[in-house]
Amino acid sequence: MLEIVIPLYKINWVTKAVLEGLNFHYSPKKIHIISSQKEINFFKKLKADYLPLKFYDEDIFFCRKFNLTKNKLLKELVIKNKLYTKGWFYQQCLKIGANDIIKLPNRFMIWDADMLPVNPWPITDNKFALLQDSSGGNPEIIEKWKIWIKKVLEIEPVFNHKSTFICHHMIFNQNHLESFKKQLQRHYKSDDNWLKLLIRSFNDYETFSEYWAYTSWVNEKAKNDLKYFEYEDYGASHERFFDDGTGLFSHK
């Protein structure tokens, strides 16, 4: 039965609708929320007992296995590009490492907290959906993501004729995740845990795309496991925009 993991920076106007949408469309066994204790405490006041939620404190999320708090881990991170914050990089760590801490099925779904499911795709065949047209984007950043994949994973990135693989959700396979993490150790010829090495790679290459890196790895190692809907199926009708709570959509 499906389980969903959501790293959540901050509760906002769309959070409740996202969770209700996921529950309505996918009927997950659990929705695992990784957030700060402040946000978790606020969440518990919302009386959302009808949702299958379970909460985890992001500040100590990795302590049990790696003895690393959020602050201790991020002290090693050097920000070289003003586009990013340390918290943005930590979200990547939470997505890649959720299965190390949470007892999850072999396949589970990561969902970005700001993506509202209105007319979503079926996931019965473990397929995710390509949602982002590849004609846009920052070429400099995309090139750095590509370099990370080539240098660290030592493979070629996966490409699609129409869409990027930055799709704001992903169905992860635990076996592929584990081999992905071991590749970090092979690349750096190190016995350090993958979490420290991922931070080291951020310092070396300035940026990272968790979804593109993972899908490229699966495409290389088990191509038949990389299942997705084409951009024309759902991406063409998927709207990606930012609304801080004062825009037309949040007002409605």
Neighbouring CB atoms inside 10 A of 137's CB total: 13
- What's the predicted TM-score (pTM) here? 0.95
Q: What is the pLDDT of residue 67?
A: 97
pLDDT tens, position by position, 210-219: 999 999 999 9
Strand partners, 228: 128
What's the longest Cα–Cα distance across the chain?
53
> Does the pLDDT at position 204 exceed 90?
yes
Distance, in Å, from the CA atom of 56 to the CA atom of 10, rounded to the nearest integer, reads 14
Q: What is the pLDDT of residue 246?
A: 87
Sort strands 107-111 and 53-57 into parallel, antiparallel or unpaired: unpaired
pLDDT tens, position by position, 105-139: 999 999 999 999 998 999 989 999 999 999 887 88
Strand partners, 54: 32
Averaged pLDDT of the chain: 94
Q: What is the pLDDT of residue 252?
A: 79
Q: What are the two backbone dihedrals, phi and then psi, of residue 36, each rounded to the nearest 5 degrees?
A: -75, 160
> Does the pLDDT at position 172 exceed 90?
yes
pLDDT bin (cut points 50, 70, 90) of residue 165 is: very high
Sort strands 128-129 and 53-57 into parallel, antiparallel or unpaired: unpaired
